[in-house]
Structure 1
Amino acid sequence: MKFENVVRVILVLTLFLPSVVLLPVDGAVVSDANLYSMHQRDYWPTSGWQNSTPSEQGMDGSMLQAMIDHIIDEDLDVHSVIVIRNGYVVLEEYPNPFQGQSRTQSFDGTHYLYSTTKSFTSCMVGIAIDKGFLDNTSQKVLSIFTDMTFDNVDERKERITIDDLLTMRSGLPWDETSAPFNSPDNDVWQVNFNSSGGVQFVLDQPMEDEPGVYFHYNTGASHVLSGIVHEVTNMSMLEFADENLFTPLGIDRFLWPSDTQGVTFGGFDLQLRPLDMAKFGFLFLNNGTWDGEQIVSSDWVHNTTTTVTTLDSIRGYSRQWWTMPDYGVYHTAGLYGQYIFVAPELDIVAVFTSGYGANDVDENPQMVRDYILSAVLGYEPPDSPGGFGIVPQITIAAFSLVAVVLIVQYVRRRR
């Protein structure tokens, strides 16, 4: 091959090299598109989970024990930690007794999920679409509530779609941080106790932005999603979920209250046992299938757990699910540390529940990376928020140096 042609090849490879080698080492996943794979199951946990040891499922048990030791040593207010690998419970620990807002619960009692509820609400919207109660997520929200009238309606509000609610891009205002939750000045309080109901309160508000443009976390939008399910199915979302989600998964202990108009709270207040939380994660891990039945479409699973909004170097948001694409993980997130983590490529579901008022909740996602993902034999999570390992960096540096030398020689020859 002529020298000039070699240089041309080098230049082309230099242009495209980053897309080829800028991947985490040891098979780490960086693309949302890689998060969806089907695993073969030899049983389904409808009637209960089966146990195994970490080593039998390809995990380092000492890493998982180190996580429990860390929780205890740091006095973290973690109530439960469940790790499922290959469909088997490899870790089930309850480091601290369940402390509800005003009561102590047994270790196998239901636990407040707070905003983890939102991911269940999203699932119910998907099931409503699958069953033909809704056409798609492009439907206009106001047109669904045919028997209701709302204040401050303008052209922007009329354009709000179901997808705008799912992605937290409704353009509606929301404030749940400026006042305590027990204050009427807090919008969560209004969803709870407004005599006209939460849906009316949320959709009465004047628009703040164009719909579909800006991410603004909005618990009220999740409640409107529940109202939509209620409206089109003529069932409360609790009833609809019991029939189409909880019963097929063998979940028979739950609490899910409603607002003053009987609309199930869409953004908070679902209560489940931690092992049943894991079933929900396992459903999504298996692309919406459960023991041969498609509970929610695989397209819905993919579309609601693929990053829509990138929030920072690690986190993104989808449709009522959070994402950590560099780690090959998506997850729910509830106030005070209620999480369901799903790592499809590693066949892992992890559940954390924590105490009311816990202020160390950021520990839970970090523990997933440092202990749970790292416990998988032969796997090394990305070292940093970009997920680039040292091997690709050295490769790029060396290749670039060679390219520069060849280009310089080429220019000298041309002269």
Structure 2
Amino acid sequence: MKKFNQLNFIVITILILTTLSSCKVARFAVYNFADINDHKKFPARNIENGTTKFIFPTAEKGKFPKELHLKDKTYPFEQYLEDNKTVAFLVIKNDTIQYEKYWDDHDSTSIVPSFSMAKSITSILIGCAIDDKLIKSVNEPITNYIPELKENVFEKVTIEHLLQMTSGIDFKESYWNPFGDAATFYYGTNLRKAIDKMKLKAEPGKKFEYVSGNTQLLGLVLERALKDKIITSYLEEKIWKPLEMEFDASWSLDRKKDGLEKTFCCINARARDYAKIGRLYLNKGNWNGKQIVSEDWVKQSTKVDTTKGSVWYYQYQWWLPTQTGDFMAQGILGQYIYVNPEKNLIIIRLGKKEGKADWWELLSTLGKAY
């Protein structure tokens, strides 16, 4: 009986993969959960860097701790990072690299998917679009850009609701269920169709709920606002080239032909270039004398605010680990861009897994120590 059941399972699996080879269930079955190599699995648009490159200088004798003191325990610094599946860790203070190390065959040229750190980058692009008067304000209803959602009673959902994760959309943030919403968005091949089916379960502006559907809606708002320009090109124009990135990057799509960028995730880049996103916000949206995104947008995106259903630890697609001014972008598997303006500090942590570490505590503790 056991052999028969195993045979049935294998046959059914093969049938599913054969008949649904282009759909999200097949992708889910083959790829089986988010992985650090996901940038190789999906179609993507290239993000080109410019002719000039900004290079962080490296301190001759960098300052970094030999030990970590977390939850009344002490750990060797580098061993703790390695044990918790880190592949890249950078500490940049006063524009100088104090510490940079890679593990598991990774180096400074290794591509690592951003996962949900892309949410913070999408937020920057929304700010740029407002600066460019492509979007009027965060108070606009999203149906100004996605009119088809009027049928689903989305007229009361504003851009700000999406930014603050207070829209009230019905979205299950689970990557474990191949038929769930997150899996549909991550592994599916038609994000526009999936968005068209979205519903509300609560009144907008009343309660925070972190779900990726909000950021993908922001992506469609941005695409509609840009009209003839694609999102990847806008990222390249507004951020990648002005920030003098060292490397090209890419943004994963739902499909190759007429694809939509997965704005809730899936920018694929290198550690030092992620650090430049942190540097931009560390300097209030200014890059070496040029205002890339308005200072007001950076302030609004990273301030503690509990109005309109928001929570103190999340604003405009950025996480706030403490109430002392630090903030960060965060992605599944433990990808982090941590910024502490008071200490003029940026920390990048990229990993193949979260490990057993409390990265919020570790990053904020390091922020205080520096």
- TM-score by length of structure 2 reads 0.76
Matching residue within 71, 75, 79 for 1:69: 79
Is the counterpart of residue 240 in structure 1 residue 238 in structure 2?
A: no
Counterparts in 2 of 1:242 and 1:70: CA distance versus 1, 3 Å: same
The equivalences for 1:289-304 within 5 A come to 289-304=286-301
User: Could you list the per-position Cα deviations for residues 128-168 of structure 1 after superposition, in whole angstroms to 9, with x for gaps in the alignment?
Assistant: 0001101110111012135xx248522xx211000000000
Stretch moving more, 301-310 or 121-130? 301-310
Matching residue within 42, 47, 56 for 1:49: 56
User: Could you list the per-position Cα deviations for residues 371-397 of structure 1 after superposition, in whole angstroms to 9, with x for gaps in the alignment?
Assistant: x22532xxxxxxxxxxxxxxxxxxxxx
Tell me the residue number matched to 2:207.
214
Counterparts in 2 of 1:61 and 1:179: CA distance versus 1, 3 Å: closer
Tell me the residue number matched to 1:368.
363
Deviation (angstroms), 1:308:
3.4
CA distance in 1, matches of 2:269, 2:192: 24
User: Could you list the per-position Cα deviations for residues 57-114 of structure 1 after superposition, in whole angstroms to 9, with x for gaps in the alignment?
Assistant: xx55545894213224xx210001001100111110113334xxxxxxx542210111
Counterparts in 2 of 1:151 and 1:190: CA distance versus 1, 3 Å: farther
Counterparts in 2 of 1:87 and 1:220: CA distance versus 1, 3 Å: same
Counterparts in 2 of 1:294 and 1:198: CA distance versus 1, 3 Å: same
3-state SS, counterpart of residue 93 of structure 1: strand
Is the counterpart of residue 265 in structure 1 residue 266 in structure 2?
A: no
Tell me the residue number matched to 2:132.
131
Stretch moving more, 249-258 or 334-343? 249-258
Instruction: Verify the 8 A CA contact 1:229 1:236 in the aligned structure 2.
Output: no
Stretch moving more, 318-327 or 292-301? 318-327
The equivalences for 1:9-408 within 5 A come to 46-53=53-60, 59=63, 61-62=65-66, 66-72=76-82, 75-98=83-106, 107-146=108-147, 149-150=148-149, 152-154=151-153, 157-177=154-174, 179-180=176-177, 183=178, 185-192=179-186, 194=188, 197-234=190-227, 235-251=229-245, 252-260=247-255, 261-309=258-306, 316-355=313-352, 358-360=353-355, 362-370=357-365, 372-376=366-370
CA distance in 2, matches of 1:151, 1:132: 24
3-state SS, counterpart of residue 77 of structure 2: helix
CA distance in 1, matches of 2:274, 2:338: 10
- TM-score by length of structure 1 reads 0.68
User: Which ranges in structure 1 are unaligned for 5 or more consecutive residues?
Assistant: 1-44, 99-105, 377-415
CA distance in 1, matches of 2:80, 2:356: 14
User: Could you list the per-position Cα deviations for residues 286-337 of structure 1 after superposition, in whole angstroms to 9, with x for gaps in the alignment?
Assistant: 0000011100001110111113359xxx971111000023343101110010
Counterparts in 2 of 1:144 and 1:60: CA distance versus 1, 3 Å: closer
CA distance in 2, matches of 1:344, 1:305: 11
Stretch moving more, 340-349 or 213-222? 213-222
Q: Which amino acid aligns with 1:130?
A: D
CA distance in 2, matches of 1:145, 1:263: 14
3-state SS, counterpart of residue 323 of structure 2: helix
Q: Which amino acid aligns with 1:293?
A: K
Counterparts in 2 of 1:288 and 1:322: CA distance versus 1, 3 Å: same
Counterparts in 2 of 1:95 and 1:293: CA distance versus 1, 3 Å: same
Deviation (angstroms), 1:207:
1.2
Deviation (angstroms), 1:212:
1.2
Greater per-residue strand proportion:
2
Instruction: Verify the 8 A CA contact 2:176 2:183 in the aligned structure 1.
Output: no
CA distance in 2, matches of 1:327, 1:66: 27
RMSD of Structure 2 on Structure 1 (CA): 2.5
Tell me the residue number matched to 2:10.
none
Count the aligned residue pairs.
306
Q: Which amino acid aligns with 1:69?
A: Q
Instruction: Verify the 8 A CA contact 1:170 1:221 in the aligned structure 2.
Output: yes
Larger radius of gyration: 1
Deviation (angstroms), 1:202:
2.9
